[in-house]
Amino acid sequence: MSLGWCDVRQFMGRLKGIVFGRPVATDRARPTILRTRLALPVFGAGIVSAVAYAPDAVLDALRRGSQQGAMLTMAIGVLAILLLLGFAYRSNVHERPDERGDYGLVRDKLGAQAGVLTGAALLVDYIFTVAVSVAALAHFLRYVMPWANDWHTVIAVGAIAVMTLAALRGVTERARILLLVFFGFIAVIALVVTFGIERHTDSVLQPIASDAPTTMTVLFAYAGAIASGAVMVTGIEHLASAGPYHAEPRGMRTGRTLLIAVVLAGAAFFGVSWLVWSYRVTGWTEGPVLLQAAQRAFGATWVLWIVALAAVAILYAAASAVFKRFANLTSLLARDSYLPRQLATRNDRLVFRGSVLLVGVLSAILVVAVDARLDQLIHMYVIGVFTSIVLSQIAMVRLFGVKLALAPVGAARTRMALTRVLHLVAAIVAASVLAVVAIFNFLNGAWVALAMIVVVVVMMRGIERHYRDVATELKIAFGDHTSALPSATHGIVLITQLNRPALRTLSYAKAARHSSLEAVSVRVEALAATSLQDDWGKLTAGVPLVILDSPYRDIMGPVLEYVRSIHRDSPRDVVVVYVPELVVGRWWEQFLHNRSTVRLRSQLLHMRGVVVAAVPWHLESARSARDEAGTGKKRDLT
C-alpha cells in the first residue's frame, strides 16, 4: 500500500498536534490578571536571576586588579544603582502601565527614530538575556556534575531548544510553580547567607583584604566591577511592561511589584556578595562564586545541590519569560512597520512563531560562538538594556517637563519637580554606566552588542522605508485608472499534449469569452508537434493552434517571448495564460509532475499585464486521498 500525500499531511497534522498542541481560540488571548504575589515570580524572575551570576561578574572585574577586598564596596555601588533605577521605573509604570514599555514611551515622547533605537537595543538585550541565563545555568550544572565539564555548551543549547519548543507550544508557566521557584530561590539564598554569617568567625577566616598595586589598575578594576555588576538591572524593563497583567489601579500595583522585586534582588545580591567577601572567594577558581562560598561555609555536597538546583530553576524561568517578551516587542515593532508584518500575526496556538524561533536561533548561535563562556557574554550584555534605560529616563524628564509647565503651584507641582529630578539623576547615572561599559568592556565584547544594535537599527529603518514606499505606490490617487477595463483580453491555453486536462483547460478559457483565444504549444520534437497538429485538426475545437519553434529545446523562452510580442502590439491589453496542472495524492508524485509548469508560472507572474490561471485536474490518487480524508474526519467527529 503506497503512502498517499494526504496520509502524509494527516500524519504531520497529528504530529503537530502532539508536539505543539491543539489550536486555541482567539478569545483566549486576553492577559491574565495576577495578584502581586503571583505577578512577582512571573515578571520578577529576570531581575532576581541575576543574583546567580552578577557577583561572579563583579569579582572577575576586581580580580583583574587584585581588588577582591573591595567586593562589598562595589556591591553597595551596584545596589545604589539598582535602587535608584527601581524608583525611577516605579514612576515610569505609574505614568505608563502598558506593555509597550520603554519602546512605546520613547517613541511617543522622543520621536520615531529614538523609538527605533530603543526597540533595537531591547531586542539585542533579550537575545543576550537568554544566552547569559543558559550559560549561567550550564555553569552551575557543571560545577556539581564535573563529568559534564566538556558538555556545558551542549547543555546551554539544549536548554534553549527546550525553551523554544515550550514557547512554540504556547506553554505558559504556571504562576504557582513560578511562585515556588521564585521564593524558593530567595529562601535558599537567605538560608545560605544566614547560616554563613553564623558559621563565620574571624578565627576561621579573615575577610579578604584589598591590594592596590597601581592607581590605574584600581581605576580599571572598580570601573569594570560597576559595569559588570550592572547586570543586576537587566530585568527591570520586563517588570515595567507588566501593567496589563495587574488589576486596577494598574500603575500603582505594577510599581509595587517592581519595587518588591528590586528590593528582594538587591538584598539577595548584597547577601551573596558578603558571603563571597567574608569567605575569601577570590575568583581564581573555576565555578560559580555562590557555590564556592556555600561550599566553604557548609562543606556539604547536598547543600551545593540545593543551591545549584534553585539557581538553575530561576535561571530557566528568567530565560523562558524572555521568549514571550521578545515576541510581544517584535509584534509591536512589526505593527509599526519596523519589522516584517508577519511577525505581528499569531498562529493557531496564539504564539508569535517567527519571533520565538528568531530569539531561540540567535541566542543559540551566540552561545555556540563564545562556547557558553559566561564571563565573555556578560561583557556584551549590559549595552542593550542601559541604552533603553537612558532613553526612557530622558523621555520621562521631557514628560514631567511638560506636566510642570501646566501644573499650578502647590504640593502636586513640588512632587512633579522632585520626580523630574529623580528621572534626570537616573538618566545621568545610567548614561555613565553605559559609557563605562562601552569604554572599559569594548574590546572584551561590548563592541559586539553595539554592532548588533547598529545593524538592527539600519535593518528596521530599511524595512520601514520599504513599507512606506510600497504604501505610497499602492495608494489610490485622484483620477486613478487602475480599475479601468483593459482594451481587450487575449487568452492563451498552453498545450503540451492533447489529453483530458488540456480539454478542461480549453473549456475554462472559452467560458471566459476573451477578445481572442488560441492554443499554444512549443515544438521540441518535430514528430510530436506534427502529431499534435493532426490531432488538433480532428478535434474541431474552434480555437487555432500556434506552434512555436524552439531550436534549443527550451519551453519557457519561446512562450515568454510570444507573450511579450502580444504586449508590444497592444500594450493596453491583458493576456491571460491558462496552464493545466495535475493535483496528485501521493507525496512522491509531486516530483514527477508539474515541474515545468511551476517554473513557467513563476516567470509569467513577473510580466506586467499578464494573468496566470492554473486549471486543476485531480488524478485518481488525489480523489482517493480526498475521500479517505473525508471519511477520517467523519470518524473523528463521531
DSSP notation for 393-409: HHHHHHHHHHHHHHPPS
Predicted pLDDT of residue 637:
43
Beta-carbon contacts of 628 under 8 Å, excluding residues fewer than 6 positions away, are 4, 6, 7
Q: Which of 468, 488, 462 is nearest to 575 (CA)?
A: 488
Residue 449 CB-density burial (10 A; 0-12 exposed, 13-18 middle, 19+ buried): buried
CB of 607 closer than 8 Å to CB of 560: yes
Q: Report the alpha-carbon distance of residue 121 to residue 562 in Å, rounded.
A: 53
Q: Which residue has the cell 575577610?
A: 207
CB of 197 closer than 8 Å to CB of 272: no
Predicted pLDDT of residue 124:
94
DSSP conformation class of 612: E
Rg (CA), the chain: 33
CB of 188 closer than 8 Å to CB of 297: no
Q: Report the alpha-carbon distance of residue 318 to residue 178 in Å, rounded.
A: 10
Q: Report the alpha-carbon distance of residue 602 to residue 605 in Å, rounded.
A: 5
Q: Cell numbers of 424, please?
A: 534626570
For the entire predicted model, the pTM comes to 0.83
CB of 62 closer than 8 Å to CB of 283: yes
Q: Which domains does the chain have, with CATH numbers?
A: 33-466 (1.20.1740.10), 489-637 (3.40.50)
Q: Report the alpha-carbon distance of residue 223 to residue 164 in Å, rounded.
A: 36
DSSP conformation class of 148: G
Q: H/E element holding 200?
A: none
Length of the chain in terms of residues written: 638
Predicted pLDDT of residue 458:
96
Q: Which residue has the cell 562595589?
A: 74
pLDDT tens-digit map of 502-512: 999 999 999 99
DSSP conformation class of 551: T
Q: Report the alpha-carbon distance of residue 548 to residue 522 in Å, rounded.
A: 5
Q: Report the alpha-carbon distance of residue 87 to residue 259 in Å, rounded.
A: 7
The parts of the chain modelled with pLDDT lower than 50 are 1-5, 203-205, 212, 634-638
Q: Which of 278, 321, 303 is nearest to 189 (CA)?
A: 303
Q: Which of 331, 374, 332 is nearest to 356 (CA)?
A: 331
Q: How far is CA 255 from CA 36, 237, 242, 391, 479, in A?
A: 10, 12, 10, 20, 55
Q: H/E element holding 362?
A: helix 353-369
Q: H/E element holding 33?
A: none
DSSP notation for 271-303: HHHHHHHHTT--S-SSS-HHHHHHHHHH--HHH
